Structure 1
Amino acid sequence: MLKIFNTLTREKEEFKPITPNQVNMYVCGPTVYNYIHIGNARSIVAFDTVRRYLEFLGYKVKFVSNFTDVDDKMIKEANREGITVPEVADRFIKAFYEDIAAINVQKATINPRATDNIQDIIDFVKVLIDKGYAYESGGDVFYRARKFKHYGELSDQNIDQLVEGASEHIGEAEFDKKQDPIDFVLWKKAKPGEIKWDSPWGEGRPGWHIECSVMSTKYLGETFDIHGGGQDLEFPHHENEIAQSEAKTGKKFVNYWMHNGFVTVENNEKMSKSLGNFVTVHDLVKKTNPQVLRFFLSSTHYRRPLEYSEANLQKAADNLDKIKTAYNNLKFRLDDAKDTDDEEIVSQTQSIIEDFKNAMNDDFNVQNGLTEIFNLVSLANNYSSRDTVAKNAVNVILKAMADLTSILGINLDSQQDLSEEIQQMVDQRDQARADKDFATSDKLRDQLKDMGVILEDTPQGTRWHIND
């Protein structure tokens, strides 16, 4: 039985989708004015892992994640480069797809863009005005946060404290336009030279919060199963989404709210573009094996902080290498495996799979799930060292390892082929060993190691793998 920690209730709850065997899921996507950094990627990978596990359980997942392709940052970047906002968006959306492909993230079912849904946004805002939840002021449209009686519940904040905080950080011009300091913008009046659209309130563009309410309900329905995002989105973004959506529909917006922890750097500081301490995925995959980066990002429970460091990346590389080596050593044994059964090994494997599911059913606890994957590694290592192995048992273990690691976005069958030159060196070393020319054998082994090819001598012959 899968249980999910619901940020709204602060409890683990049994997962019951609205439609049997179907999960409708929305995750807030990036503002596309720059390359994604690994803080962004942590959220992307966390919810890709959630999606993969739901699919492993047999659910059909409709996964929607938006692109914010117009906002102040987009306009600033376009002005800096002397190009249009859509040109900035197109470039970084293309880069986004390239970067997530590198770390083996599945594409969303739908990636809607805010600018493709302007009329839907305008229509949504009209309803909020008609219901008395929103008002126009000087070309802007604001939402009356105090009118929504549940405002602050998701982020567990008192509305009077929110009023005090809002009063301290909004400018005088904005303060004069608002009826209440905690009211938030739904539609922004365009400044001279800015990208804009016609609306009943004059030329302008949508506020940030409204776009996710519009696009999530448009593609997933007025109530859907899971809404995810980083912890920094709990307030105000997700709080405002709830207020807008439930005011419009009169229905519960989302059944399960999930929020991932931050990526931190030195001194436990949050990684973010605003702090200037970020590392982009675009740059990192050029110098780090993308599978190692994926493994690093997916091997910590999604709600816990994840510390980025070279040492932790190396630890991830070492652990992934242990998994791959065990898998490939066992796969190598298929060549001499007997066409027989080994029910005991099959039973042990199935037991580990069940223990993995029990771990993941506890709010997607990948750390405990990894413990079971390494139990499979131990089983694979022990079995591959036997004098004789049964083909069915080898295949069962291999399939279990491939299936469980694929939930973390790791493809164990992604071994690359050796170049002709390197293959010749491996063959020459095999011949040198057969001729008991150990000096030549050792020399070739060292040369191959310097080239990143690691050799393993087994009773069944020489195995190799690329050093990550």
Structure 2
Amino acid sequence: MTPNQTTGIKLYNTKTRKKEVFTPFKADDVRMYVCGPTVYDRAHIGNARPVIVFDTLYRLLRHVYGQEQVTYVRNFTDVDDKINAKAAETGRTIGEITEETIAWYLEDMAAVGALEPDHMPRATGYIGEMIAMIETLIEKGHAYAAEGHALFRVRSYEAYGALSGRDVDDMIAGARVEVAPYKEDPMDFVLWKPSSADQPGWDSPWGRGRPGWHIECSAMAKALLGETFDIHGGGLDLQFPHHEDEIAQSCCANGTSEMARFWMHNEMLQVEGKKMSKSLGNFFTVRDLLAQGVPGEVIRFVFLSTHYRKPMDWTEKKREEAEKTLRKWTLALTSDGLINKRLGDGAADQGVIDAISDDLNTPLAIARLHELFKSAETDSDLANFKASLVLLGLGERVNLGASKTFSDIVVKAQFPELQTLSDNLAVARDEAMKTKDFSEVDRLKAAYIEAGLEVRMSKAGVDVLRGESFDAAKLEGLL
């Protein structure tokens, strides 16, 4: 992509409660930090929402300012009580758990089309920077040591609560938690805490221990992006207390009036209209969806269909509609199983760019894609349509022409007769449901599998996909 700084970007700034024109501190050095996962288990689909939201913003920034001018940092929290508990429960080492979980996370996020950030720091790699920042806070009177802990003195920062719109006295009045005896004030939060012999720990001026959650992002953001940077993002659930605490400790330690110029938060996710919960049986991970055969592009498309500042509802209907749309679009860009070679590189449509430049209005961008596809008459039109898909993170796998996640679409373009096979099996199944004689269904299914095809049968219908060992010759007499 070539820089296109004539495109104006507007973003909703949580800090000011309004949409503002985005102007970076330096046009040749755009910097963004997004809070990443605590790595102890598979990422559920709610975890994927901030990844897709801020990946879309990352792509836009790279398009407007140039790829080399944008730095995106997303961290891994690899020291946490949840990780300690998982290690104790499984008998595995903390290192084994975090390494495995990070690998899972990167694989799953790549499947939904997310680019890897420029930096992916791990908290354990910045313990020294965290200790140094805590020491500075204590020296300046913004923190204190007590019983092996270091705590931030919340009332020393007058602007505390500005991001979330909360008043400190109101928060204390509404709190129903037991206050630790070593705290000067109920609102003071932990910067450092002691570790037992069986917990991970590092030597510090306050004894062997480990960092609190909030200090890690302040230390890593400063180390990689500087004392102030352009955008800080994350889920709405992080606005308080995590982001509020980050601002307080960063500004007090660094002597700055702000940590980030723009603060952005995505809304939460539901499943079929209900909060995702294991007790409700509607909790599932990104890997669960991928394993069920839901292509990563479909997951991304469903997410982009709702504006990031609105609650998102994952439904089976939305999944089906997204897959139908992407199937249609992909087939139009496919020829003989490969991306149509006559299509040039193309240029992303300005209407799509304008939509996502207006506070990441991805639903409007998708509406524009429908218009572009419907009106496409020439190879040039299709090339521009393809470039627009790529800008939204929906086109890279299509460009490969051999996507694992969307192979069913590409393969059906290679071998259109697969649809006939699907239809024949569907008819046989419908007849078997009436007669209770499934011999023909079993015969067809066995023949398809022998030919290297994958057969998927569900209440929604029948689908036949080509496997790696597909041999068309073995289908003689079945078409």
Q: Please indicate the TM-score interval, normalised by the length of the shorter structure.
A: 0.7 to 0.9
Residue of structure 2 equivalent to 1:355: 351
Alignment of 1:140 with 2:140, yes or no, is no
Structure 1 position 407, deviation (Å):
2.3
Which residue of the partner structure matches residue 88 of structure 2? 79
Structure 1 84/233 Cα, relative in aligned 2: closer, same or farther at 3 Å?
same
Q: Which residue of 2 aligns with 1:370?
A: 366
Asked if residue 63 in structure 1 is aligned to residue 72 in structure 2, the reply is yes
Per the alignment, residue 437 of structure 2 pairs with none
The one of 242, 261, 271 equivalent to 2:267 is: 261
Cα shift readout 1:331-364 (whole Å, capped 9, x = no counterpart): 9997999xxxxxxxxxxx98x9222222222111
Structure-to-structure mapping, 1:52-201, within 5 angstroms: 52-59=59-66, 60-166=69-175, 168-169=176-177, 171-172=178-179, 174=180, 176-201=181-206
Specify which of 200, 206, 211 is matched with residue 206 of structure 1. 211
SS at structure 1 position matched to 2:333: helix
% identical equivalent positions: 41
Q: CA deviation at 1:408?
A: 2.2
2:399 alignment partner, SS class: coil
Match of 2:26 in 1: 19
Give, as a single letter, the amino acid of the residue that structure 2 aligns with 1:163: I
How big is each residue's C-alpha offset from its partner over 1:160-181, in whole Å with a ceiling of 9 and x where there is no partner? 1111234x12x35x2x111000
Residues of 1 paired with 2:412 and 2:331: CA distance? 23
Post-superposition CA distance 1:387-425 (Å, at most 9, x none): xxxxxx41x212211221112211233443899999688
* Structure whose residues are more often helix by fraction: 1
Contact kept? 2:35, 2:74, Cα under 8 Å: yes
* 1:256–1:425 CA distance, 2 compared to 1 (3 A): closer
Cα distance per residue 1:28-56 (max 9 Å; x no partner): 00000101111000111111011011112
CA distance in 2, matches of 1:336, 1:92: 42
Matched, 1:403 2:403: no
* 1:181-330 alignment, distance < 5 Å: 181-251=186-256, 252-269=258-275, 271=276, 277-287=282-292, 288-328=294-334
Q: Does 2:464 correspond to 1:451?
A: yes
> How far apart are the structure 2 equivalents of 1:183 and 1:107?
35
Q: 1:273 to 1:21 in 2, by over 3 A?
A: farther
Structure 1 regions of 5+ residues with no counterpart?
338-348, 384-392, 430-442, 454-468
Superposition deviation, residue 314 in structure 1: 1.1
Provide the residue aligned with 1:51 in structure 2.
58
TM-score (norm 1): 0.80
What is the root-mean-square deviation in Å for CA atoms of aligned residues? Answer: 3.1
2 CA distance for matches of 1:40 and 1:55? 23
Q: 1:425 to 1:291 in 2, by over 3 A?
A: closer
- Is this contact kept in 2: 1:326–1:377, CA < 8 A? no
Count the aligned residue pairs. Answer: 408
Aligned residue identity for 1:296: V
Greater RCO (CA < 8 Å, at least 6 residues apart):
1
On the 8 A contact 1:48/1:105 being kept in 2, the answer is: yes
The answer as to whether partners of 1:327 and 1:377 remain within 8 angstroms in 2 is no
2:470 corresponds in structure 1 to none
Residue 390 (structure 1) aligns with? none
Q: 1:202-247, CA deviations, whole angstroms, 9 ceiling, x for partnerless residues?
A: 0110000000000011100101000000000000000000000000
In structure 2, C-alpha distance between the alignment counterparts of 1:63 and 1:420, rounded to whole Å = 35
Structure 1 position 276, deviation (Å): 7.7
* Deviates most, 44-53 or 313-322: 313-322
Flag the 1:273–1:234 CA change in 2: closer, same or farther, 3 A: farther
Aligned to 1:37: 44
SS in 2 for 1:285: helix
SS in 2 for 1:317: helix
SS in 2 for 1:200: coil
